[in-house]
């Protein structure tokens, strides 16, 4: 397909689309958790029990909500990109464990897909249209 062959020249624009799209969605999902307060944080943080962590659920929940909300913003601008991708990957691995143990593979599939994307983005980087510009 020769007419699509030149799209490889726009890899950095493709990375920008991925960063902005994922960033907006993580802010959209993370901000209500962050604004939910201690009860929401405790509920969210208690999901760490599925990976063997049973202490300080409020702290883990708050950290998870902060990573989703502010990590989404940092994805959009492309700053501290790789560390943010790693933190979001960890967040998603907890979500995968929770969904697999409570409702099965079908419910875990979205978190697995996002985890795969973030694992790949750690290696690819943010592209040139970012604050990091690497």
**What pLDDT, in 10s, does the model give residues 15-41?**
999 999 999 999 999 999 999 999 999
Question: Rg (Cα) of the chain, in Å, rounded?
Answer: 16
Q: Is the dihedral of CA 83, 32, 44, 93 positive or negative?
A: negative
At a CB cut-off of 8 Å and minimum separation 6, what does 133 contact?
Answer: 78, 126
Cβ count within 10 A of residue 39: 10
The predicted-structure confidence for 56-98, as pLDDT tens digits, reads as follows 999 999 999 999 999 999 999 999 999 999 999 999 999 999 9
User: Helix (H, G, I), strand (E, B), or coil: what is residue 58?
Assistant: helix
**Domains of the chain: which residue ranges?**
12-124
What pLDDT score does 107 carry?
94
Q: Rounded to an integer, what distance in angstroms lies between the CA atom of residue 66 and that of residue 62?
A: 6
């Amino acid at each position: 397909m020769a007419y699509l062959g030149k799209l490889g020249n726009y890899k950095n624009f493709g990375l920008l689309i991925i960063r902005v799209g994922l960033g907006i969605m993580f802010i959209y999902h993370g901000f209500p958790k962050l604004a939910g307060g201690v009860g929401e944080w405790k509920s969210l943080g208690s999901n760490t029990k599925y990976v063997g962590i049973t202490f300080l659920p409020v702290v883990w929940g708050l950290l998870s909500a902060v990573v989703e909300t502010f990590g989404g913003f940092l994805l959009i601008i492309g700053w501290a990109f790789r560390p943010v991708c790693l933190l979001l990957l960890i967040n998603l691995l907890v979500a995968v464990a929770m969904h697999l143990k409570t409702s099965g593979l079908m419910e875990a599939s979205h978190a697995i897909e996002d985890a795969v994307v973030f694992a790949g983005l750690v290696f690819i980087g943010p592209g040139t249209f970012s604050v990091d510009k690497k």
